[in-house]
Amino acid sequence: MAQSNRDGFTSSFGVLVATLGSAVGLGNIWKFPFLTGTNGGAGFLLVYLAATMLVGLPVMMVETMLGRTARANAVTTFEVVAPPGQGCWKGIGWMGFSAALLIMAFYSEVAGWIYSYVFKSLSGEIATVDPKAAATAFAGLVSDPVSSLVWQWVVLCVTGGIITLGVSKGIEAVARKLMPLLFVLLLVLCGRSLTLPGAMRGLSFLFEPDFSKITSGVVLTAFGLAFFKLSLGMGTMLTYGSYFQGDQNIPATTTRVMLADLSVSLLAGVAIFPAVFAFGFEPAAGPSLVFMIIPAVFTSMPGGALFMAVFFVLTAVASIGAMLSLLEVPVAILSERYGMGRKRASALTIVCIAVLGVPASLSQSLAAKFTIFGLNSFDLFDFLSSNILLPLGGILICLFVGWVYGLPELEKRLSNEGTLENRRLIRVVFFLVRYVAPLSIAIVLLNGLKLI
Ligand code: PHE
């Protein structure tokens, strides 16, 4: 049932672009810079790189492989690939379902800030290089309950509208067109930022590690970011893998996506940190960081207001690609398992997210006093999903592939039934997935949560 009537990506290039569309998003432009800033710079970046290469990439390969093998949503996939009597593995899919809703609850809020900054760029309200004025402008947005909520709802309506168009049309078309432009604008920003007086301090912050700053909490956040960045541990890549064609080279495609995604993040870092130091901002400002620095850099350029608006439009588009892929997890589960039409499944999912999103959007205004473990709802949703659910999902997927699914099956699937010459590579992937990834994530998780 799940196997038939499924829309798929129509070309191998389309697969690459759509997968990249899921990976590249606010994670690169907003989360990577702000986390690098709050976690001490280069040391964090180093751990993040290691987590991405040694854990993220192999997890991405096996996740995509499982989805393509089962050609089903994140829950059904485990029913198809797990041996008889081991239906419990489908819990991974349900965890992904919850993680998708939690992530969307705060992600759509940040996307709302981006939308509103498109208009603020043009009105001149945010055109300042002064740290105080920039902080006031941002606070004006997030501390206003009505505008926070309305922008989030606008984002959810736009995204919901696109997803009802279906996989290949909706996702591919949006993702394909505008990504290269964002890359070019980031390059322009880097050029400007690097030529500001005092820019070099930003570069050394980003690239000269201070190992004393790498605490267990920093390591957990870096691992969480690696999962979040590549959309792993929650069924997104699994669901996207289910739309891959049988002859797609999964190891090659995922490696390209990882490298491209990393370049976008690094470019964002180089665009931001030199300016942070040049203009006297605080690198550890938190989620507001890019909302202050990007306007500052554009303001110091001729024609800045217009370019700034274009930049925020492109970032909004990138965020749509990521949100479509987040929504795809619950929508595929609901429509394939409960016989709901895609439109109804999308509408239901969006309504749930809108409800869950209320405390997140009000976390700096009406609901500011409501905290758990010292975190407001926005930070709590982020922490729970990125730092707990995704790494946990990653461990379980690795344990499943490494200890239940096994090497012969993995070899068969990742080599496209022996048509690709990549046996050595697959063995390395298997080793990483069987031992290195689950062990390192488990230690990082327990240590980061202060359980050991
Ligand atoms: N990878 C996306 C980004 O960086 C976010 C995302 C996380 C998308 C998990 C899907 C699943 O913006």
> Tell me, what's the pLDDT at 7?
66
End-to-end alpha carbon distance in the chain: 45
Ligand 1 binding pocket includes 236 (Cβ within 6 Å): yes
For 92-107, the pLDDT digits (tens) are: 999 999 999 999 999 9
What's the pLDDT band for 11 if we cut at 50, 70, 90? confident
**Residue 17: what pLDDT?**
83
Give the CB-side neighbour count of residue 104, counting CA atoms within 13 A: 34
Phi, psi of 135 (to 5 degrees): -65, -40
Contact, 148 vs 359, CB < 8 A? no
Of the candidates 414, 96, 438, the one whose C-alpha atom is nearest the C-alpha of residue 255 is 414
Quick one: pLDDT at residue 1?
36
Give 107-140 pLDDT, tens digit per residue: 999 999 999 999 999 999 999 999 999 999 999 9
User: Probe ligand 1: pick from 320, 326, 392, max atoms within 8 Å of CB?
Assistant: 326
What would the pLDDT profile of 41-76 be if each residue is shown by its tens digit? 999 999 999 999 999 999 999 999 999 999 999 999
d(CA 62, CA 394): 10
pLDDT surpassing 60 at residue 172? no
One-letter-per-residue 3-state SS of 257-323: HHHHHHHHHHHHHHHHHHHHHHCCCCCCCCCCHHHHHHHHHHHCCCCHHHHHHHHHHHHHHHHHHHH
State whether the beta carbon of 243 lies less than 6 angstroms from ligand 1.
Answer: no
Mean of all residue pLDDT scores within the chain: 93
Residues 6+ apart with CB under 8 A from 173: none
In the reported structure, the alpha carbon of residue 225 is separated from the centroid of ligand 1 by a whole-number distance in angstroms of 9
Residue 4: band (very low, low, confident or very high) from pLDDT cuts 50, 70, 90: very low
- Average of pLDDT values for 388-399? 98
Report the alpha-carbon distance of residue 283 to residue 195 in Å, rounded: 18
CB atoms within 10 A of CB 5: 7
Mutate to test the pocket of ligand 1, among 30, 103, 108, 228 (most ligand atoms within 8 A of CB): 228
> Which residues make beta-bridge pairs with 372?
375
What amino acid is encoded at 59 in this protein?
V
Q: Is 229 in the pocket of ligand 1 (CB under 6 A)?
A: yes
For residue 314, the CA-to-ligand 1 centroid distance in Å is 16
Q: From the CA of 19, how far away is ligand 1's center (Å)?
A: 10
Tokens 């960081």 — which residue? 289
Distance 26 CA to ligand 1 centre (A): 8
Does ligand 1 have an atom closer than 6 angstroms to the CB of 239? no
% residues pLDDT > 70 (the chain)? 96
Cβ within 8 Å of residue 241, ≥6 positions away:
63, 64, 65, 66, 67, 68, 250
Rounded CA-CA distance 306/68 in Å is 43
Task: For residue 192, give the nearest of 115, 279, 132 by alpha carbon.
Answer: 279
What is the rounded CA–CA span in Å between residue 109 and residue 152?
A: 5
Q: What integer pLDDT is reported at residue 310 of this predicted model? A: 94
89 lines ligand 1 (CB under 6 A): no
Q: How many CA atoms lie within 13 A of 405 on its CB side?
A: 29
Distance from the CA of 135 to the center of ligand 1, in angstroms?
A: 26
Q: Give the three-class secondary structure for 1.
A: coil
What are the residues whose beta carbons fall under 8 Å from the beta carbon of 414, sequence distance 6 or more?
61, 65, 250, 251, 420, 422, 426, 429
Structure confidence by residue, pLDDT tens digits, 273-322: 999 999 999 999 999 999 999 999 999 999 999 999 999 999 998 998 89
Element (H, E) at 375: strand 375-376
For residue 178, the model assigns a pLDDT of 80
At 174 the pLDDT is 63
Lowest mean pLDDT among 172-186, 194-208, 333-347, 376-390: 172-186
Pocket test for ligand 1, best of 325, 329, 385 (most atoms within 8 A of CB): 325
Give this prediction's pTM. 0.95
| Predicted local distance difference test score (pLDDT) of residue 169 | 60
Give yes or no for residue 23 CB within 6 A of ligand 1. yes
- Give me the amino acid identity at 39: N
Long-range contacts of residues 67-71, Cβ cutoff 8 Å, at least 24 apart:
67/237, 67/238, 67/239, 67/240, 67/241, 67/242, 67/244, 68/241, 68/242, 68/244, 68/246, 68/248, 68/250, 68/413, 69/413, 70/2, 70/242, 71/2, 71/3, 71/6, 71/242
Ligand 1 closest atom vs CA 261: 4
Percent of the chain predicted with pLDDT > 90: 85
